[in-house]
Structure 1
């Protein structure tokens, strides 16, 4: 008898982050939240970071990357000028 293993338990995603987290200066934002704030795709954000044209994220291990909300908001403010 073959036992089936659910892959969903191995690929659990964290809960979505509220866009309101971006209002907290020191909040650490997930890529999805940064995408909502900027309207950019993940690829565009990463290209701009590599080019030095967007705030660099903080790395907290291999699979945990976060942006500081205040830095992203300041970048957006400068773009609007």
Structure 2
């Protein structure tokens, strides 16, 4: 087992809840999600970014990529109704 891997018999991982972590978690839970679900999703997204950086050869194996952006999508917002401009 690698030095930083979690033993397979562990069901949870201790995480220190700093004020910043609590604030970030509150943002992710604002729509009613559970803490465990948003933490699981956040780790999954970060791990996918690492995998892709290594798989594409953008970052050498064994090094941590710096994640500098993301793409997202949400529900489409209605476009504002534009008023016709008439010349006097």
* Fold agreement, TM-score > 0.5: no
- The structure that is helix-richer by fraction is 1
What TM-score do you get using the length of structure 1 for normalisation?
0.27
Structure (1 or 2) with the greater strand fraction: 1
Q: TM-score, normalization: structure 2?
A: 0.26
